[in-house]
Amino acid sequence: MNRVKTFAKYALWIILFWIFSDILINIAINTTYKNINRIGEIPNGIQVIEMEATAVNGRIKLIVNNTQLSGKYVKINLYSDLENLLGTQHLSIGNISEGEQKEISTYFKIPEVKKYEITIEDVEGKSTEGFMDTAMSTITMIISAIQLLFVL
């Protein structure tokens, strides 16, 4: 019986350490993100919630609240400090009803992004490599959690 209690204590300490380290890791990662600068004006009906980057990746979160933008595409250009084009992505806005807001988010794995530009396009253009949608990152997190359960 003592061995079971000892094992349970060690298991509890390992789980608590894992949770504590996970919290600290998330705090450390989130502090590395810095806001990136805008080039030009943001189109009417688009609100930038989050436009941040680290030295190797970044995240974008926009809110679209204009019904005139239904069926159009948001074009995001990412630039270096010297305004060299590093990547382009076209995000579909979809249909927006009156009074509705639509949140659009994406992630990118492009190094040294310092500036961005947002425009509205009628047709979808070609996007460059380096962008990931939120579904991909969610799937990655679920797979990682399942793998972790098998290890523990």
**Residue-by-residue pLDDT tens, the chain, 152 positions:** 788 889 999 999 999 999 998 888 888 888 888 999 999 888 888 889 999 998 888 889 998 887 787 888 889 999 998 989 998 988 888 888 787 888 888 888 888 999 999 998 888 888 777 777 654 556 666 776 677 677 66
Task: Say what the pTM is.
Answer: 0.70
Confirm if 61 and 91 have CB atoms less than 8 A apart. Answer: no
**Does an H or E element contain 2, and which?**
helix 2-31
Backbone angles phi, psi at 118, to 5 degrees: -120, 130
pLDDT at 135: 46
Taking the CB of residue 80, how many other CB atoms lie within 10 A of it? 14
Do residue 115 and residue 139 come from a single domain?
Answer: yes
In a domain, 152, yes or no: no
pLDDT at 9: 92
Could you tell me where the beta strands, DSSP code E, fall in 16-114? 34-35, 37-38, 46-53, 58-64, 73-79, 85-92, 102-108
Confirm if 1 and 9 have CB atoms less than 8 A apart. Answer: no
pLDDT at 140: 65
Do residue 105 and residue 89 come from a single domain?
Answer: yes
Number of domains in the chain: 2
Do residue 130 and residue 74 come from a single domain?
Answer: yes
